[in-house]
């Protein structure tokens, strides 16, 4: 059988090691070594100058981390994959590779809290402007892009608004305007969504979520699909003349990521390699439960409204189905009558845990307005469409019955 024809899990589980393991270890060993020894000065020179791919120092590359990267590359078809120690490190490393003083980023206000703050505060201090707009409005996006735009950035399903942008329409605009499309796809895992099919150029994932396999560790991934002409990005112009398609990855790997020092550690890579092996299984179970739970909760009068793009009545149902298939994630939100009702519900939960994070094996509940967005001003929360009446649920692996019973007892007045 041809390796290319294998299924998602087949490819994943059969990704070869970079070198055969001397003991024939079936589980990728954790190479807990900072440095690597060379036989000769010539080999050392070759490794340091990029003429060989040998490992030299674990801030730059590490065999265990590289194996994790290779697995991701095998299942996605990306040109290159870089693993970092958090989703935020993946976002910041990507943006710093593309932006320089005077550039701008076109994005939406519907962003993960730290991403918003990274754009609005951290990058602003270095003279990089962020243009917040409605990414579902093509005319507005087109109008905001200009010659200094270094990226259009989006989350494929925003959190907690659950807004879905037409990716093909957006990538067509980016192509016409010659700007790379950078997408944070954390919310839908690789087994349900292929970024390349929708014209995304750089994909970013917080592997802390679905991939880690039970919230074991923080991690982030940068995937370069090799489908953007980097000659069009002023900061990468010289790099592209020398390296061609691989210019973004070269700038990232040979300069930015080693200077910022946020490479994934081998222990984390080991845990996430294992997590990846059960990704499809966990995702199928969690999304099945999510769907059943949402359908049942939708019928309760205490629930004012429920937001899940898998519901036929959802505004984004068709678009979500066309982009993410039948499994649009294991997260939903619902509104109760007031902030007080939300707090009362949260406090009564017995099975569902009060915690942040997404796609743990345990089901988690959070009131976003008072926590993730709790230090933002009411005006900013309003602009971001984060309501005081919303609860966010990340569905885990418990049974639907246990979860539903807990919701009911927490919702109904004693």
Ligand X SMILES: *Cc1c(COP(=O)(O)O)cnc(C)c1O
Which residues are bridge partners to 332 per DSSP?
Answer: 393
Closest contact distance (angstroms) between CB of 127 and ligand X is 24
CA dihedral over 396, 401, 404, 409, signed as positive or negative:
negative
At 91, is the secondary structure helix, strand, or coil? helix
Closest contact distance (angstroms) between CB of 204 and ligand X is 7
Q: Which is nearer to ligand X, 88 or 179 (CB)?
A: 88
Q: Which is nearer to ligand X, 199 or 220 (CB)?
A: 220
At 78, is the secondary structure helix, strand, or coil? coil
At 306, is the secondary structure helix, strand, or coil? strand
Closest contact distance (angstroms) between CB of 118 and ligand X is 10
Give residue number: closest CB to ligand X.
87
Q: Which is nearer to ligand X, 230 or 283 (CB)?
A: 283
* Alpha helices for 130-219 (secondary structure H): 138-144, 167-177
- How remote is the C-alpha of 374 from its chain's centroid? 22
Q: Are 11 and 75 in contact (CB under 8 A)?
A: yes
Q: Is 259 exposed, middle or buried (0-12, 13-18, 19+ CB in 10 A)?
A: exposed
Q: Which is nearer to ligand X, 119 or 230 (CB)?
A: 119
- The residues of the shown chain that bind ligand X, judged by CB under 6 A, are 86-88, 112, 115, 155, 159, 184, 186-187, 206, 208-209, 218, 220, 358
Closest contact distance (angstroms) between CB of 51 and ligand X is 34
Token reading at 246: 């691989």
For 202-260, where are the E strands, in sequence order?
A: 202-206, 220-224
Closest contact distance (angstroms) between CB of 115 and ligand X is 6
How many other CB atoms are found less than 10 A from the CB of residue 11?
17
Cross-sheet strand order for the sheet of 202-206: 80-84, 220-224, 202-206, 181-184, 149-155, 104-107, 129-132
Closest contact distance (angstroms) between CB of 129 and ligand X is 21
Closest contact distance (angstroms) between CB of 258 and ligand X is 19
Q: Which is nearer to ligand X, 112 or 373 (CB)?
A: 112
Q: Which is nearer to ligand X, 89 or 174 (CB)?
A: 89
Closest contact distance (angstroms) between CB of 87 and ligand X is 2
Q: Are 223 and 186 in contact (CB under 8 A)?
A: no
Q: Which is nearer to ligand X, 76 or 159 (CB)?
A: 159
Closest contact distance (angstroms) between CB of 193 and ligand X is 13
Token reading at 70: 């290779």
How many other CB atoms are found less than 10 A from the CB of residue 203?
29
Please tell me the distance from the alpha carbon of residue 276 to that of residue 350, in angstroms, as a whole number: 30
Q: 3-state SS string over 2-32?
A: CHHHCCHHHHHHCCCCCCCCCCCCCCCCCCC
Q: Which is nearer to ligand X, 87 or 199 (CB)?
A: 87
């Amino acid at each position: 059988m041809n390796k290319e024809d294998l299924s998602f899990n087949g490819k994943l589980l059969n990704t070869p090691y970079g070198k055969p393991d001397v003991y024939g270890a079936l589980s990728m060993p954790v190479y807990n070594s900072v440095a690597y020894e060379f036989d000769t000065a010539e080999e050392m020179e070759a490794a340091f100058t990029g003429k060989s791919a040998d490992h030299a120092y674990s801030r730059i590359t590490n065999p265990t981390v590289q194996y994790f990267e290779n697995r991701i590359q095998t299942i996605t078809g990306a040109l290159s994959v870089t693993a970092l120690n958090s989703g935020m490190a993946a976002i910041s490393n990507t943006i710093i590779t593309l932006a320089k003083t005077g550039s701008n980023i076109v994005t939406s206000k519907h962003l993960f809290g730290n991403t918003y703050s990274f754009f609005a505060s951290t990058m602003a201090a270095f003279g990089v402007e962020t243009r917040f707009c409605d990414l579902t409005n093509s005319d507005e996006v087109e109008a905001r892009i200009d010659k200094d735009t270094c990226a259009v950035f989006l989350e494929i399903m925003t959190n907690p608004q659950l807004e879905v942008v037409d990716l093909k329409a957006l990538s067509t605009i980016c192509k016409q305007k010659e700007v790379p499309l950078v997408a944070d796809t954390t919310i839908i895992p690789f087994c349900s969504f292929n970024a390349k099919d929708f014209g995304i150029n750089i994909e970013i994932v917080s592997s802390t979520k679905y991939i880690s396999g039970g919230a074991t560790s923080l991690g982030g991934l940068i995937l370069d699909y090799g489908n953007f002409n980097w000659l069009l990005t002023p900061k990468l112009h010289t790099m592209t003349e020398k390296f061609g398609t691989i210019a973004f990855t070269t700038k990232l790997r040979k300069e930015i990521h080693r200077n910022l020092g946020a490479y994934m550690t081998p222990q984390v890579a080991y845990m996430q390699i294992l997590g990846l092996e059960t990704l499809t299984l966990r995702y199928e179970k969690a999304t099945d439960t999510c769907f059943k739970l949402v359908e049942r909760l939708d019928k309760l009068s205490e629930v004012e409204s429920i937001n899940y793009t898998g519901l036929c009545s959802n505004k984004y149902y068709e678009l979500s189905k066309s982009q993410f298939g039948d499994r649009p994630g294991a997260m939903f939100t619902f509104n109760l009558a007031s902030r007080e009702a939300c707090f009362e519900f949260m406090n009564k939960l017995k099975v569902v845990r009060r915690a942040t994070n997404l796609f743990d094996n345990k089901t988690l509940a959070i009131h976003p307005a008072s926590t993730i967005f709790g230090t933002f001003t009411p005006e900013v929360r309003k602009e971001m469409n984060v309501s005081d009446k919303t609860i966010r649920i990340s569905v885990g692996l418990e049974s639907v019955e246990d979860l539903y019973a807990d919701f009911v007892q927490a919702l109904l007045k004693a």
